[in-house]
Chain A
């Protein structure tokens, strides 16, 4: 257990499905992140939230929609994904001047 909990651990979804990934941290961190990890791009930043406000959207397609209802929770809503979106999706959190704490990730397969 890392202090950052991600669910589900594995997800298989069809291209027409809608699903959500959940991330939760109770470390008192003020920033939360979504990363995509695939063989082609090892750690690709998707979104950054600071104190619940989105401060970075790294040109992510609109089929990925983040939501941050409070400083402890972060969601990634998925709809009409493509097979090339199959990857490990990692959530991370950080406090001031500290390293990131990553969750265990959600292994997503789009069929």
Chain B
């Protein structure tokens, strides 16, 4: 049962244009959402996050939007740069069965920014 879904396995965007990566979730108990960026053969690095009490968070070229009613979030990168080419993981946090906060990851979207 995939609670965090990234339905687009890949995305290609021209340099300078906007990249929009989407993520859907099913668990209404998730209260914190994160985006990670991963290069091949490396660990993911934290990019940006958003609390469920907000609908937008911006950090430089990166903006995350949260639509709680639709259980949908998106990551906007503008302008896109070739160095943004990587796999982007959406993640959601909520209390797991053990009573601890647990983070669930999506399967990732591979972004290619074309020079």
Bound pair (A, B)? no
Chain B residues close to A by CB (< 8 Å):
none
